[in-house]
């Protein structure tokens, strides 16, 4: 994902999942943590399997139902997602979050009245300022559905309920490389890691940072905790601390791809383009099939005035990027290629 540096305050908001009443065993909490890591990396099918196992073990594990709904929706499995969102809503009746995803799925399955009802309920319940953009999105969808009394948002909201929907933001914990601990049942850091995510998701930022650090102290090789801490620090614009966090992760495991990607982005938003180029190249060596770094690499090279190299990186990105969801970044890269090909 590849945002312009000026948007980092928005796009580094992580894929936050509200945590309702948690009635879960340590084993299902560990599965939930693994699922969240996979979900953040957009491995929706694998994440869905983890959440399904978690709710099978603990049917009242509300957070796992919510994340299962989210994963299923992004797999295009809206009927199954609707069922999961409704289970979460039944377990956490005072939480607004499920009604957003539920409304979008009902719309996509052709249930216009149901979609309007769910989105109106979300708008009526969601009062937190941090969720203003999602309320705006709900209003926009309601207007598109022709709901009485709805109007489009004044500002164009993001396309999904996760703020991290813009290119260049961290990749949020892809599958671990060999030797990296990311949240396995064997890690003593798992309880603190799960609690840190819950605190973060409820807006308790300072407490979340402290708890992530507690998790890292319990297991210095818990790479998912290190990555999540760094990404949270980036979200709140503590960029230098984030850079230190990612570097510390690489000191523990230099083959952990996510830390290189996050470090590259952090350097880029700080205007340290040469260091960003180096970090992107490290990531590319570890994950050569991923198109994402080539976009950030191209922008960094462009900032350094290396136009030919930048154009080559954009062209590589375009040759590799086939995901329909990335259309706007494909179009942006195409425009940059044309611009770089034009005479001064």
For 252-292, write each residue's pLDDT tens digit: 989 888 889 999 999 998 889 999 999 999 999 998 888 88
The confidence score (pLDDT) of residue 143 equals: 86
Mean pLDDT over residues 114-119, rounded?
Answer: 92
pTM reported for the whole predicted model = 0.53
Q: 154 versus 287: which is more confidently predicted?
A: 287
Tell me which residue of 64, 76, 130, 124 sits closest to 100, measured CA to CA.
Answer: 124
Residue given tokens 């230098």 in the structure block: 240
The whole-angstrom separation of Cα 42 and Cα 52 is 16
The confidence score (pLDDT) of residue 11 equals: 29
**Which residues lie closer than 8 Å to 254 by C-beta, 6 or more apart?**
none
Mean pLDDT over residues 117-146, rounded?
Answer: 84
| 127-136, 182-191, 272-281: the lowest-pLDDT one | 182-191
- Residues paired with 61 in a beta bridge: 22
Q: 37 versus 305: which is more confidently predicted?
A: 305
Tell me which residue of 44, 299, 292 sits closest to 160, measured CA to CA.
Answer: 44
The confidence score (pLDDT) of residue 96 equals: 87
Q: Answer yes or no: is pLDDT of 127 > 90.
A: no
The confidence score (pLDDT) of residue 343 equals: 62
pLDDT above 90 as % of the chain: 36
Helices (runs of H) and strands (runs of E) counted in the chain: 17, 0
Helix/strand/coil for 61: strand
CATH of 5-144, one of 1.10.3720.10, 1.25.40.10, 1.10.10.10, 3.30.465.10: 1.25.40.10
**Which residues lie closer than 8 Å to 213 by C-beta, 6 or more apart?**
229
Q: What is the mean pLDDT of the chain?
A: 79
Q: Answer yes or no: is pLDDT of 303 > 80.
A: yes
The confidence score (pLDDT) of residue 190 equals: 83
The whole-angstrom separation of Cα 197 and Cα 338 is 42
Torsion sign over Cα 190, 193, 199, 202: negative
Helix/strand/coil for 2: strand
The confidence score (pLDDT) of residue 167 equals: 55
pLDDT, tens digit (0-9, with 9 covering 90-100), for 315-330: 999 999 887 767 888 8
Tell me which residue of 47, 2, 34 sits closest to 290, measured CA to CA.
Answer: 2
Q: Answer yes or no: is pLDDT of 172 > 80.
A: no
pLDDT, tens digit (0-9, with 9 covering 90-100), for 224-258: 889 889 988 988 889 899 999 999 999 998 988 88
pLDDT above 70 as % of the chain: 80
* 80 within 8 A of 87, measured Cβ to Cβ: no
**Domain ranges, ordered by start, for the chain:** 5-144
Q: For 157, which DSSP code?
A: P
The confidence score (pLDDT) of residue 202 equals: 80
The confidence score (pLDDT) of residue 99 equals: 93
Q: Answer yes or no: is pLDDT of 174 > 60.
A: no
Residue 292 CA, distance from chain mean position: 14
Alpha helices in 204-291 (DSSP H): 205-218, 223-235, 239-252, 257-269, 273-286
Residue given tokens 């957003």 in the structure block: 100
Rounded to the nearest 10 degrees, how much is the dihedral formed by the CA atoms of 106, 107, 113, 117? 70
> Residue 210 burial (CB < 10 Å; 0-12/13-18/19+)?
middle
Helix/strand/coil for 128: coil
């Amino acid at each position: 994902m590849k945002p312009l540096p000026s948007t980092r305050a928005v796009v580094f908001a992580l894929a936050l999942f509200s945590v309702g009443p948690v009635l879960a065993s340590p084993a299902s909490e560990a599965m939930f943590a693994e699922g969240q890591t996979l979900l953040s990396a957009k491995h929706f099918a694998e994440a869905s399997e983890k959440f399904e196992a978690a709710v099978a073990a603990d049917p009242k594990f509300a957070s796992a139902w919510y994340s299962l709904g989210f994963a299923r929706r992004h797999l295009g499995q809206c009927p199954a997602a609707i069922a999961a969102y409704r289970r979460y809503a039944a377990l956490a009746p005072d939480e607004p979050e499920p009604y957003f995803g539920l409304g979008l799925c009902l719309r996509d399955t052709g249930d216009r009245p149901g979609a309007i009802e769910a989105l109106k309920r979300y708008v009526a319940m969601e009062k937190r300022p941090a969720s203003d953009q999602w309320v705006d999105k709900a209003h926009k969808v309601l207007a598109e559905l022709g709901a009485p009394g709805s109007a489009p948002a004044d500002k164009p909201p993001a396309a999904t309920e996760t703020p991290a929907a813009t290119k260049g933001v961290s990749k949020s914990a892809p599958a671990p490389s060999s030797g990296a601990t990311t949240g396995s049942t064997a890690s003593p850091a798992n309880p603190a890691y799960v609690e840190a995510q819950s605190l973060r998701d409820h807006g308790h930022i300072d407490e979340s940072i402290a708890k992530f650090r507690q998790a890292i102290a319990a297991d210095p090789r818990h790479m998912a905790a290190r990555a999540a801490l760094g990404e949270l620090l980036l979200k709140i614009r503590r960029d230098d601390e984030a850079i230190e966090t990612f570097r510390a992760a690489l000191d523990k495991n230099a083959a952990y791809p996510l830390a290189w990607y996050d470090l590259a982005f952090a350097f880029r938003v700080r205007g340290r383009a040469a260091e960003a180029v180096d970090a992107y190249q490290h990531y590319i060596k570890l994950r050569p099939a991923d198109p994402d770094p080539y976009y950030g690499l191209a922008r960094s090279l462009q900032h350094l005035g290396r136009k030919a190299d930048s154009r080559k990186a954009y062209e590589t990105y375009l040759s590799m990027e086939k995901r329909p969801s990335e259309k706007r970044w494909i179009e942006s890269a195409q425009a940059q290629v044309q611009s770089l090909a034009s005479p001064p």
